[in-house]
A and B are shown apart, each in its own frame.
Chain A
Amino acid sequence: MPADPRIAPDIVCKGLAKRFGDVVAVDPLDVTFRGGQTTALVGPSGCGKSTLLRLVAGLERPDAGSIRIGDDTPDAVRAQAGLAIAFQDPSLLPWRTARGNVALAQRLAGQRVDAAAIDAMLDLVGLDGFFDARPGALSGGMRQRAAIARCLITQPRLLLLDEPFGAVDELTRRKLSEDLPPIWQARGTTTLLVTHSVTEAVLLSQRVLVFSPRPARIVADIAIDLPDPRPGQETTPAFIDLAEQVSAALIGGEGPSPRRLAAQ
């Protein structure tokens, strides 16, 4: 995907560190996420990859080090409504309809609430006919679709996805990861995707970073050079080979001792 560095600048983290009390979440870490790409962050639970995402979003303050998104700090990008974040829990406001939840993002971003654009976006994510449904009346998958619509409506330069398909069943998860990523990939939005699923990482990204257990250290940096569209390639030798590379790095980073696993 062609990436214009002015629209999709690289994210450069230097000497980034974060601890919560005695727990070291991120040890000094240097990493660059390329603009316009989707980078998948894979690692054992609690390894600090979500913290890394929150640091990039400016939702946490680093104890040391710096993050630059192009020439801007995360706070500056946030203030320009240049980023959007989606969590494992769709976090829709239960009293607002699907439309209302998407409109809230525009309102918070200081943009004009554009009813036509909202309807078009809800249509695009596959919520046709549920525009005025409240989250309580939507299925888990539909809620996640609404959450992605909320993310995309403000035209963010940077999309941060923290296991967005993690809380739904396997079938829904597959359907979502076929339907939704093409929307933001078509825009060339820089995307960081935290995921537990090796398949999802290979399916959705141009690059997979594998993290060790806490404190987060990058144990593998694997380029995913599969042609698009990816769905349907899961059984090809190239795909399986990449997936096994990621799995091997994950197991290697975990260390051979089962006791260490039990201790987590």
Chain B
Amino acid sequence: MTPTAAAGAMRMRVPRLALGPIMVLVAWQGLAVAVPGDFLVAGPWEVAGHLWQNAGLYFRALQTTLAAAATGFLIGNLLAVALAALALLLPRAEALIAGLALLVFCLPLVATGPILRVLYGPGTGPQVTLAALAVYYTTFVPVLVGLRATPAAWLDLVRSYGRGRFAMLWHIRARAALPYLVAGLQIAAPAAFLGAMVGEFTGAERGMGILTLQAMRGLDTEATWTLATVAAAVSIAAHGGIGWLARHALSEPPPVLLAPPQTGSGPGLWSGLRGILVVGVVAIALWWALLQIAGLNPFFAKGPGDVWAFLVSGPGADENRATLLAALAETTGALGPGYFAGMAMGAALAVVVTLAPALSAVVMPVAIALRAVPIVTTVPLLVLVVGRGPVGSAALVAVMVFFPTLVACLYGLQRAPGQVLDVMASYGAGRGKALLYARLPAMLPAFFAAARMAVPAAVLAVTVVEWLATGRGLGALMAVSASLSDYGTLWSATVLTAVLAALVYGIVARIERRVLAVFASEQAQ
């Protein structure tokens, strides 16, 4: 870039950064004007007015939810760091720790919420716990990668002075993992807020979640849009604030997170069936042991044996299985199309934006900001706009998957090595050829990383919509069985969902590993 071009870019940057949000506001206001009637879309102007009139109400609700979210955020992230350090220090147990962490992360909040509500009774316990559960895995993975991603020479340096693992962890790895931790924390902030809100859905006294339920029941358009706006603003602010703090505290900026490849001992022993088996056996043992130690009422607390009896050996097992499978089919029917549509649209828009670089400066900041929005909190909005049919669930899943995919793919497309592009240009290859031969291959690792992390997010989205809005599928089944105290169904559905989500995640991770081996061998270990 010539000096004048660089100066030009500097001048353009400030208005462009503001351009994105302004365009979003204008489009939103335009939508509000264009859509007939007052019951679908409340524009930014109406939202601002509604917020102004009910400032006290929203402030108190936000305070409550933020307090729970912040506590859960803290606990969840501390847990994540501790788990990552443990996995590092016990390399043999790493695959087991990662597998269990994934399985617990895949437990649907829709089901764990009501179970935790019974356990805790009234209060903020479920909100805090769900917030912690919603964040720990997305911090655990990058921190573990960060702890391990240290150049071998740094570790040799420590060893050359006769020092061991602890000195490596203290002097080298902990600090080297900080940017990764920050990247994890940025994702965790909106997730914690979402977890706290879902916790409130299970029957809290106050908070944003309660207001959301009220707004949805009352078909209160203004309140619904206001709540979604406040949740979005808080999440974007937290995401940006953590990034800002990190840029000032660290000498280097946090990496644009591509949720990095799943760590593990690589293909072979653990990632095969045997690994799954070990994780499964340990999970069942822990589940059984926890129930024994806690001494919970067996009417409510179902163990592995109860679930087995419910699904396989007990009376009515056939019927139970049929109910569950029917619900599973409904859920998959919404989840699959939504997931693939979201991935495809995210990647496609990223490609379009790359071919028209002028767009990227506008789209990228908006996409990064919207990626931080806890999409699930916009469920009531979606119900207003799309209705309660299966299309709504699929649409929400697609939106949930869309933004992280878009951001990751944009990042990947930009990572095509400059020299490779120069080689293409030297043969007179146009943008299309450069895209096909250089940029798309460079995008693949990012695309698959997004695809993997989107699996639990999509499951979360679809079950929450089913619970709150459509009344179909596993989400609704879990909600109904929780309210009817049908704990056999609730536990079975929970286990089924978690296991399936974890398995799909694992399958995507395996495909990802193959792709990485070819297109980003430096990441594939």
**A interface residues, Cβ below 8 angstroms from B:** 54, 57-59, 75, 78-81, 83-85, 87, 89, 91, 93-95, 104-105, 107-110, 134, 136, 154
Contact = CB atoms under 8 A, between A and B. Distances in A.
Contacts of B159: 58-59, 78
B178 to A, nearest CB: 8
B interface, over-half SS: helix
16 contacts: A54-B156, A58-B159, A59-B159, A78-B161, A85-B156, A87-B153, A87-B156, A89-B153, A91-B151, A91-B157, A95-B175, A108-B157, A108-B161, A108-B171, A136-B252, A154-B161
A93 B176 CA distance: 9
Contacts of B171: 104, 107-108
A104 B297 CA distance: 56
Give the interface size bracket for B toward A.
10 to 19
A94 B158 contact: no
Interface in B146-182: 151, 153-154, 156-163, 167, 171-172, 175-176
Contacts of A91: 151, 153-154, 156-157
B157 A85 contact: yes
A173 B171 CA distance: 30
A12 to B, nearest CB: 20
Given A91-B151, A91-B153, A91-B157, A81 B251 contact: no
Contacts, number: 56
A85 B160 contact: yes
B160 A95 contact: no
Contacts of A94: 251-252
Nearest to A137: B251
B172 A78 contact: no
Contacts of A95: 175, 250-252
A83 to B, nearest CB: 6
Nearest to B252: A94
A105 B172 contact: no
A108 B163 contact: yes
Nearest to B178: A95
Residue among B156, B158, B160, B163 with max Cβ neighbours from chain A (10 Å):
B160
B182 to A, nearest CB: 13
A142 B164 CA distance: 29
Interface in B498-515: none
Among A80, A81, A87, A110, the one with the most B-chain Cβ atoms within 10 Å of its Cβ is A87
Given A57-B156, A81-B162, A136-B251, 12 more contacts: A57-B160, A59-B156, A59-B159, A78-B162, A85-B160, A89-B153, A91-B151, A94-B251, A94-B252, A104-B171, A134-B251, A136-B252
Contacts of B158: 108
A108 B167 contact: yes
A93 B154 contact: yes
Please give me the 7 A-B residue pairs with the lowest Cβ-Cβ distance, nearest first: A79-B162, A91-B153, A78-B162, A108-B161, A85-B160, A109-B161, A87-B153
Contact of B161 (A54, A105, A134): A105
